[in-house]
Amino acid sequence: MAQYAVFIYEAEIPGGWDNAPAELLEAHEAFPGRVEELGGKILNGLALQPADTARTVRGGEVADRPFSDSKQSIGGAFVLEAKDIDHALEIAKVVPVHDGGVEIRPLFDVPQEEPEAA
Q: Domain map of the chain by residue range? A: 2-56+63-106
CA distance 76 to 48: 5
Q: What angle do CA 7, 9, 12 make, to 5 degrees?
A: 140
Pairing mode of beta strands 72-82, 41-47: antiparallel
User: H helices of 38-116, where?
Assistant: 85-92
Q: Tell me the per-residue pLDDT of 62-87, one tens digit each, with 9 for 90 and over.
A: 988 777 777 888 999 999 999 999 99
pTM, full prediction: 0.83
Judge whether residue 4 has pLDDT over 90: yes
In this prediction, residue 114 carries a pLDDT of 73
Closest CA to 79 of 29, 16, 8, 4: 4
Top CATH class of 2-56+63-106 equals: alpha beta
pLDDT band for position 118 (cuts 50, 70, 90): low
User: Do 77 and 46 form a contact (C-beta atoms < 8 A)?
Assistant: yes
